[in-house]
Structure 1
Amino acid sequence: MELQQLRYVLAVAETRNFTRAAERCRVVQSALSHQIAALERELGARLFERTSRRVRLTPAGEAFLPAAQECLEAADRARSHVAAAGGEIRGRLAVGAIPTVTAVDLPAALKDYRRRHPRVRITLTSAGSDDLIEGVRQGRVDVAFLGLPPHTEPKGVQGRRLGAGELVAVVAPDHHRAEQEVDLRSLAEEPFIDFRAGAAGRAQSDQAFAAAGVRREVPFEVSSADFMVELVGQGLGVGMLPAAYASRFPDLRLIRLRDAPTRMEHLIWDNRPSPAATAFLELIQQGTRRGT
């Protein structure tokens, strides 16, 4: 069993097509098919069902795939550790971030990191905090930036707090309370646009309204801050966003809240960070010390 065979299996599993998998691996299709067939003979089981219309994993293939991925990831880690011992950072850096991260200038940090470590393959995933925590736990994400209610700590990962910030209400320009300063009770009768119930991005607002002793209606649930901004701009309701993030949208108006919800931004990482992840964590640490 060879690592290249495992890469071929993974490529076919992801593309569901031998031709596209061969193109991705930069080999001719016959060579890729030959290597997978040789692996199947060694395992004594077929990994793929092939028809003229589709390719899909067999039950044996489904069982084999996670272990194959682990082997390839372990090989990559081994290479990166050897390179790091010689003073070179290489390998993979998978970064995850909530769309509303403000404690760090993430685009600038990624640019600086790529300049310092050009041999590292960087990927970025934008998702909610809950999904990013799970991604780090499972090893799909190396480091992630989260936003959580102030008394909530991510579990099963390493991490540190980056800083707290208040939320503001955002409204369309013609809203009757635009640019005012009010308390949450004054907004309780307004329709709200917020993230789905149970999501970390929603929790801080729900907790703040509960602490104020009032209930609100959230008829519009969204999965992204950008979609929230679009709906708010159409006058469909009130949104809740971190103050530093909301200032990026000059077409909206803000409502300052005397009893504003707060959130804490976190940086988390795997319990055994790779050299590439360690270098990124050091860069972020240096930046936050400088206040950038």
Structure 2
Amino acid sequence: MELQQMRYVVAVAETANFTRAAERCHVVQSALSHQIKRLEHELGTALFARTSRRVRLTPAGEAFLPAARQALEAAERAAADAAATVGEVRGRLSVGVIPTVAAVDVLAALRDLRRRHPHVRVTLRSGASDELTAEVIDGKLDVAFLGLPSGSRPTGVRSHELGRDRLVAVLAPDHPLARARKVSLADLTTEAFVDFPYGTAGRAQTDQAFARSGVSRDVAFEVTDAALMAQVIGHGLAIGFLPAAYLQRAPELGGLATVAVSDAPSRVEHVVWASPGPSPATLAFLDAIGLPPTAA
């Protein structure tokens, strides 16, 4: 059994098509098909059920795929670790970010990383803090940037605090409170709110602030993205809360009004990574965002 055969199996499983898999692997289809057939002969079972219209994994293929992926990842990590001993950083880096990350310019850090280490291949995705933390723990992400309520800390991962921020009220420009200098949460109890889904860290920041103040609110709209939240607010459907630092680098919010809140929600941004044994690419990226070497 060869690593290249495993790569071919993974490619066919992910594309559900031998032609597209061959294109991805930069080989002719006949060569890819031949190698998979050789592997199936060695295993004594078919990995794919082939018809004229579709390709799907057999039960044996379903069982084979996770371990094949792990073997490929282990081989890539071994090559990266060996290269790192002579100062070359290579391999893959998977980064997760919350949509409102503000304490670090993630894209600028990735630009610096690629300038110094052009052989690093990057996967970048956004999501909620809880989801990203779970994916770091599961090994699906190498690094993630989170925003948590001020009393919470990441668990199950290594972490470093990046910054603290207060949230501000965001309103449509023609809202009666749009020109106010400062309001309290009690001043907003009659408003309809747009917020992140219940149970997420982004939502908990505001829910906890209202609970501490002893007032309630009506969350009429739930969204998963800050840009969509801005659209809901801009149409006058609701008001919302977003971090002040994020607003400074969010052009899609330029037409909205922001008002300081005396008892505003707050959040803490963290960067997290797996423990133990971050990859050379992970360590290089943590260095690019200015993390002290002793923290990594």
Query: Per-residue deviation at 1:105?
Result: 1.3
CA distance in 2, matches of 1:252, 1:153: 31
Distance in 2, matches of 1:103 and 1:179, equals 27
In structure 1, the partner of 2:106 is 106
Q: Distance in 2 between matches of 1:254 and 1:179?
A: 9
The percent of aligned pairs where both chains have the same amino acid is 61
Q: 1:286 deviation in Å?
A: 5.3
Aligned match for 2:266, one of 262, 265, 283: 262
For the Cα contact (< 8 Å) 1:142–1:269, is it kept in 2?
A: yes
- SS for the counterpart of 2:46 is coil
Asked whether the equivalents of residues 83 and 90 of structure 2 are also in contact (C-alpha less than 8 Å), the reply is yes
Contact in 1 for aligned 2:110/2:288 (Cα 8 Å): no
Which residue identity is paired with 2:256? L
Quote the Cα distance in structure 2 between the aligned partners of 1:63 and 1:187.
54
TM-score where L is the length of structure 1: 0.96
In structure 2, the partner of 1:253 is 257
Partner in structure 1 of residue 120 of structure 2 = 120
Does the 8 Å contact 1:170/1:246 carry over to 2? no
Amino acid aligned to 1:223: T
User: Is the deviation greater in 191-200 or in 36-45?
Assistant: 36-45
CA distance in structure 2 between the aligned counterparts of 1:112 and 1:99, rounded to whole angstroms: 21
- How far residue 80 of structure 1 moved from its aligned partner, in angstroms, is 0.3
Q: How many residues align?
A: 288
- Structure 1 unmatched runs, 5+: 288-292
Cα deviation 1:69-106 (Å, max 9, x = unaligned) = 10000000000001000111111111111111110111
Question: Please, which runs of 5 or more residues in structure 2 have no aligned partner?
Answer: none
SS of the aligned residue for 1:167 comes to: strand
Tell which deviates more after alignment, 96-105 or 247-256: 247-256
Does structure 2 conserve the Cα–Cα contact (< 8 Å) formed by 1:48 and 1:57?
Answer: yes
Equivalent in the alignment of 1:187: 188
* TM-score, length basis structure 2: 0.95
In the alignment, what sits opposite 1:206?
Answer: 207
1:132-211 mapped onto 2 (5 Å cutoff) = 132-180=132-180, 181-211=182-212
What amino acid is the match of 2:187? S
The one-letter code sitting in structure 1 at the alignment partner of 2:43 is: L
What SS does the corresponding residue of 2:220 show, helix, strand or coil? strand
Look up the match of 1:282. 287
Q: SS at 2:110's partner residue?
A: helix
- Structure 2 CA distance, aligned partners of 1:151 and 1:50? 54
Root-mean-square deviation (CA), in Å?
1.3
Would the aligned equivalents of 2:164 and 2:268 in 1 still touch at CA under 8 Å? yes
TM-superposed CA distance for 1:133, in Å, is: 0.6
8 Å contact 1:179–1:256 — kept in the other structure?
Answer: no
SS at match of 1:259: coil
Write the distance in 1 (CA, Å) between the matches of 2:146 and 2:243. Answer: 13
Instruction: Please say which of residues 103-112 and 67-76 is displaced more in the overlay.
Output: 103-112
Is 2:193–2:219's contact at 8 Å kept on the other side of the alignment?
Answer: yes
| SS of match in other structure, 2:84 | helix
Structure 1 residue 14: deviation in Å? 0.6
One-letter amino acid of the counterpart of residue 179, structure 1: R
Residue 179 of structure 1: how far off its partner (Å) = 3.4
Q: Is the 8 A contact 1:190 1:238 kept in 2?
A: yes
Are residue 233 (structure 1) and residue 264 (structure 2) matched?
no
Quickly say closer, same or farther: Cα 1:73–1:43, change in 2 above 3 A: same
